[in-house]
Structures are given as C-alpha cells and as structure tokens.
Homo-oligomer: A and B are copies of this chain.
Amino acid sequence: MIPDNHPRYRSLVARERIADAVRSGIVVVEGASAHGRGEAFDYLLCEKTSESALLAEKTAAAYLMAADRAIISVNGNTAALAADEIRELAEASGAAVEVNLFHRTDERMAAITAHLKAAGVTVLEGTPERLLPLSHDRALCLRDGIGTADVVLVPLEDGDRCEALVAMGKTVITIDLNPLSRTAQTATVTIVDELTRALPNITRACRDMTPETGNQLVAAHDNTALLRAALRQIQETLADALD
C-alpha cells in the first residue's frame, strides 16, 4: 500500500496499476517499460500539467468537438490506467472508442474490451480490415472506426502508427510525455502531459466548448510552439536542480 500523502502518490499508483495489468494480461511487458519512459519525462515535468499542456488539451477538445467522426484509440496501457476517464471523454465529446493494439492478439483484444466495458465504456466492435499503410497486424483497424475517422485521439502511440494516420490525412491528437518522440513530433496536436491528468482536462474543455472558442483554438494552433514549450519546461526543472 502506498500512503496517500506520499508526494509522488499518483505516479506510484499508476506504476502499480501497470504492473498489475501486466500480471493480468492487459499490458505486455513492453508496455511496462514504455510506462517507465513516460514516468521519467513526467518527473522532469514535475508531474504537473503545464500551461502549454493545458492549451494543447483545450485545442484537442476543439478538434474533437468539430469532428465529423472522432475516434479514441485505446491500447493496453491506456485501458489499464484510465478506463473511467476514457468513458467520460467519450460521453463529453461524442467520440467512439476503438481498441487498437501494437502487440495484438485475440486474447488481449478480448481482455481489454471486457475491461473497458466493465468500466461502462461503449466499445466499437466488428471485423478488422487492413486499412493502415503498415505491415502485419499493425495495419488492422475497423472501417467504421479509425478507418473512416477524420479526428483520432491516440494516447501513448507508436511513431510508425502515428505517421501512418497522419499520412492518411487524419487529424491526429496524441498524449505523449516525451516531446522529442517521433509520435510527439508527427502528430497534429501533441499533449505533453500524463494520461490521467490530460484526459479529464480534455473532457472538461469539451463540456465547456463553444463553436467560437473551438474555431479560435484551431486557428491559433501551433504544435511546434507547444513542443518547444514542453522542452523549455524540462529545461527549467534542470536549471532549478543546478541552482
């Protein structure tokens, strides 16, 4: 048990959740090490949502609310850490939820779908088709989901898949704690923030969004500026440590 007054309580709870999810088969071992990479960057961001991250979250909400067909693509880590937050965002934004795994097996697809449904998430189901320009099972998605979506939120996504979605002309929103990652650099909107802090912020912004604010946020969006602000945030942490 982690004492709830521990200064890094949320981070340690998330770490434990990922470890439990590996043991229950929802997360692969590679997902645990990916989580660790994110933790390190979050540590350098002082485990707080920065002003620029909050702007990215509001911008993401604007794109989701203006979409013809928005999809939230959920992988094992996202399901393990944030099933409730995904349900609330889907409700607030009207986006559909599709399970999409890098390490795809029928067993994991079923386990993650069941885990999301138990949290009250409505999950798209159907026969996957090879619609993404990628090799092997990484090409698979649902025609009525990612296949025909104009806006896709893919938290914690692999670089190749993020690039493939962008190449298909989709608006890609990602949540990635490493501002230098290929995913962060490639997405349309990069939210450099921790998943369980980011999702409720996007949900809140969806609820408050007016078409006018949404248009302004989309018109003013500059992803390079958001990424640079995140890098400067990490620089500040290091500068403080050197003081």
Contacts and interface: CB of A to CB of B under 8 A. Distances in A.
Interface of A: 15, 18-19, 22-23, 28-30, 32-41, 43, 178-180, 228, 231-232, 234-235, 238-239, 241-242
A228 B240 CA distance: 11
Nearest to A14: B33
A30 to B, nearest CB: 6
Contacts of A40: 36-41, 178
Contact of A33 (B19, B179, B228): B19
Given A19-B29, A22-B32, 18 more contacts: A15-B30, A18-B29, A19-B30, A19-B33, A32-B33, A33-B36, A33-B39, A36-B36, A36-B38, A36-B39, A37-B37, A37-B39, A40-B41, A43-B180, A231-B238, A232-B242, A235-B238, A238-B238
A11 to B, nearest CB: 11
A15 B33 contact: yes
- Most chain B CB inside 10 Å of its own CB: which residue of A40, A179, A231, A232: A40
Contacts of A239: 235
B32 A29 contact: yes
A23 B22 CA distance: 11
A238 B38 CA distance: 17
A239 B41 CA distance: 16
Contacts of A242: 228, 231-232, 235
A141 B180 CA distance: 41
Contacts of A178: 40, 43
A221 to B, nearest CB: 20
22 contacts: A15-B30, A15-B33, A18-B33, A19-B30, A19-B33, A22-B32, A23-B29, A29-B29, A32-B36, A33-B35, A36-B36, A36-B38, A37-B37, A37-B40, A39-B40, A40-B178, A179-B241, A231-B238, A231-B242, A235-B238, A235-B239, A238-B238
A158 to B, nearest CB: 13
A34 B18 CA distance: 12
A231 B234 CA distance: 11
Nearest to A20: B29
Contacts of A29: 18-19, 22-23, 29, 32
Q: Give 6 closest A-B pairs by Cβ, nearest first.
A: A36-B36, A40-B40, A33-B36, A32-B32, A37-B40, A36-B37
